[in-house]
Structure 1
Amino acid sequence: MLLVSVPPGPNGDPVLAAFGSQIAASRIRRIVYLSTIGVYADHGGGWIDETAALSGDGRRRMRIDAEAQWRATAGERATMLRLAGIYGPGRNALINLGAGTARRVVKPGQVFNRIHVDDIAAAVAAAFAHPKAGIWNVCDDEPAPPQEVITYAATLMGIAPPPEVAFEDAEMSAMARSFYATSNRCTNARLKQDLGVALAYPTYREGLGALWRGGEGQ
């Protein structure tokens, strides 16, 4: 079995560039590639599943191309796990609020999908155990506007949330702004039905609550 979490670069997938021929000729039964839900085209906040159209440029195009490269190399052995925005210990809204870096950027109609790192681990284990390869979204049950997550984290901490800032007025890097180029509600129905994954943190509320009780942001 092989788990690949290395992101692609401008020259393609670095793992395949270095070891592609060996991987193609190997007897590895299952290869799990950690991709991203960022490969999907914008659907204006609508619900989408793994059959939705792919589109993008820059980093998104690199991921789309990397998925295709892995399927071409590994064939039916290649599973794609398309991860939502990752949070967990050391990487969450509580930490950002405590550091004074959290912002409530508001873009009407914008939602993001999230997943706790523990639930990613469960999805990876389930993908390796599954008898067939496939493509699965790894996200929680509730896509939500980013400002709502910051507000909830502030409530847990007993502090006032930062003021809202319109997306058009927010100072952001080109990379940060690129995340707002698409707004999709990704369903995890196949993750649950096919792989039998029961999310430990079905929404950001359970996830942030557990992190707060564990000392994050305090």
Structure 2
Amino acid sequence: MPSETGGYECKFVVAPHDRYICKICLHPCRNAYLSGCCGHNFCKSCLDNFKRTSAVCPFCRNEDFATLPNKQADREITREITSFHVMCTNKEKGCDWQGELNDINNHLRDCDGCQFEDMECFNLCGETLQRRCLTSHVETECPDRIVQCPLCHLASRQWFITGIHQEQCPKLPMSCPNRCSVKKIAREDMETHRKECPLEMVQC
């Protein structure tokens, strides 16, 4: 997801003119402000951060930079920048979307948006996958997806059902330890069976 501070680091279809470029981060301005000395544009966040450590204009080197008032650039500049066409930030992964800068966050965030955007698994298993692979992972691969035990129908995390629970399931079919003719006995019924099993050893 694009950063919300500094200039826009998107890949523009046509490179913006120099007058739109922040003279600190060298990207098209986000919330452009005009310096009070040389009249060049800076991102508001870049300007605020720079003034904390320097009193000299980063472009014209005016030493009164920190005390001169800055004014927000004409809103027309902001409208122009955000109307420029950009490529999806996931272009190198295969996304061929192009649209206005205004729309890129919607493209990346919408559930029907960029299928190449990295997303965390909804089940919080720790996996990060591209949106196009997420449904398959959540439904058939994620170890934290909810599944039912096919024997007792307990619903829990897949890793628990196929691991710990499988060793404890009361409905798990087992063989009689006496090797009698009864082949499959539910774990929960084993104690009762052994009391009735004709091959069970008993004391006289």
Which structure is higher in RCO with an 8 Å CA cutoff and minimum separation 6?
1
TM above 0.5: no
Please tell me the TM-score bracket, short chain as reference: under 0.3
Provide the TM-score with structure 1 as the length reference.
0.19
Higher normalized helix content (fraction of residues): 1
In our comparison, the structure showing a higher alpha carbon Rg is 2
